Amino acid sequence: MPKQYKLIVLCVLSAFSSHVLAIEPDEIRNNLSDQQSVAVTIYNNDLALIKDQRKVKLNNGLNNLALRDVSAQIRPETALLRSLSHAGSFSTLEQNFDFDLLTPQKLLEKYVGKNVSIVRVNPATGLETTEQATVLSANNGVVMKIGNRIETGMPGRIVYDDVPANLRDRPTLVTKLNNKITAEQTVELSYLTGGLGWKADYVAELNAKEDSIDLSGWVTLTNTSGTSYNNAKLQLVAGDVNRVQESQPRAMMMRKEAAMMADAVAPMAEESLLEYHLYTLDRPTTISDNQNKQVALLSASNVPARKELVLRGADYYYGASYGDLGQKMKVGVFVEFDNKETAKLGLPLPKGTMRVYKKDNQGNAQFVGEDSIDHTPKNEVVRLKLGNAFDVTADKKQIDFKTLPRPAKGNSMFESAYEVVLKNAKKERVTVTVQEPIPADWKMMKESHPSQKASSNTAVWKIEIPAEGKATLYYRVQVKY
């Protein structure tokens, strides 16, 4: 073969080879039907870790693997795909998250500048006619060019030739892989996502004597991530995990109204994780898309509790003359208990809402108040404000005030006296805790009942009030500013 012909053949082969290498491989679709297992770890503040194991069969060389049914709120930069059955069998070259989902509006937008068919029906005869049209705009309606005229609105039924490749019927992560083997593999896709959250809810029932409670805790899961997690291994992390705040709001937010469903299950196992607490459900559970789900967290009976009636004052009336400070003042109702093993608890309690009930004379549980609790470790006290007492009130007034000589340059000193009349309309005796926050440098001069200095700026009295009676607290105090 002459030298010049060999050169031509080599150039053709080289061009052909380059063309073959440039051809994109066919897409391999992987669905939930290929899923082997999934593990979901949900943190506070709309964050979850997904570990999705699936079986795949890849071709040797380049592959476009389309992993369908991932979360619509996936953080693609956190996605990691690896082979569990054949470690190191492939390398990931690039990945694309396609969240532009197929809808009539999206399909119309993708056809702007392209031709579609318009099918009209004659209302009199029922006959259909077809015209070719060019989509000019799809913003706030549709504008089309049909023949030599421009029409707005929906002129008829629109028929498209095909679905654009960049429109997906569900959220899909497409990865380009360089694979070394052709055997079926088990792969794991792990990623962080939004759209999954949880919160703790507690129900406490006071006994008749109001000195113990039966406590049950529930975890409410919310899934608005855009996909379901079937038979998932569920774990929850309680604690405030630090996260880098993004400068731009994320797209891909899909919010819908959720339906409530509940499962009665065994309490969740708990363990420490770094400086957080990890709760693990002892069985797989399905978390469907657009669903609220409840699972049991804990249960405890006959937990010793304490009820307290509290009248709390203010610190503004110790430096001036005020006279009457209030009539029929509200007395707060509090219930507290110890989160200790000796008190039949001793479990780390995730933050949430605790609702308290008590049975009436007919044995029906009635709602008597609720309060939120923060993350509470074991051996701490849980204190709830349930509301204000109806039958216990207080009248308070300042009965004396005088300015004393300045003890030093720049200082002021005042002396004032107060009368607090506590009234009890109940048929049984009650005890009210009076808390007075006293500012600056203070000294109790005189008092009708002994007080305790609970802190540097708080005086506390325990006042017993007889049934359907009243009691009066009197005290005089000096304050130096």
Beta bridge partners of 46: none
In whole angstroms, give the CA distance from residue 105 to residue 259.
27
How many residues would you count in the chain?
A: 481
Residues of the chain with pLDDT under 50: 3-23, 248-266
For tokens 């609970």, what's the residue? 454
- Would you tell me how many other CB atoms lie within 10 Å of the CB of residue 437? 15
* Burial class of residue 397, CB neighbours in 10 A (0-12, 13-18, 19+): middle
For tokens 């774990």, what's the residue? 235
What pLDDT score does 267 carry?
58
What pLDDT score does 109 carry?
86
Name all domains of the chain by residue range, CATH numbers in brackets.
Answer: 104-159 (no CATH), 307-339+384-480 (2.60.40)
What average pLDDT does the structure give for the chain? Answer: 86
| CA angle, residues 205, 211, 214, in degrees to nearest 5 | 30
What pLDDT score does 284 carry?
93
Task: Tell me which residue of 128, 63, 114 sits closest to 91, measured CA to CA.
Answer: 63
* Burial class of residue 258, CB neighbours in 10 A (0-12, 13-18, 19+): middle
For tokens 């108040």, what's the residue? 369
In whole angstroms, give the CA distance from residue 466 to residue 448.
17
What pLDDT score does 54 carry?
97
Residue type, 305: A
For residue 106, give the H/E element and its range: helix 104-110
In whole angstroms, give the CA distance from residue 48 to residue 198.
10
Q: Report whether 197 contacts 42 (CB < 8 A).
A: yes
DSSP class of 399 = E
pLDDT digits (tens, 9 = 90+) for 207-262: 999 999 999 999 999 999 989 999 999 999 887 667 666 554 443 333 333 233 33
Tokens matching residue 79 = 């996605």
pTM of the model: 0.70
What pLDDT score does 275 carry?
65
What pLDDT score does 347 carry?
85
What pLDDT score does 249 carry?
42
Task: Tell me which residue of 473, 397, 466, 398 sits closest to 435, measured CA to CA.
Answer: 473
What pLDDT score does 39 carry?
96
DSSP class of 447 = E
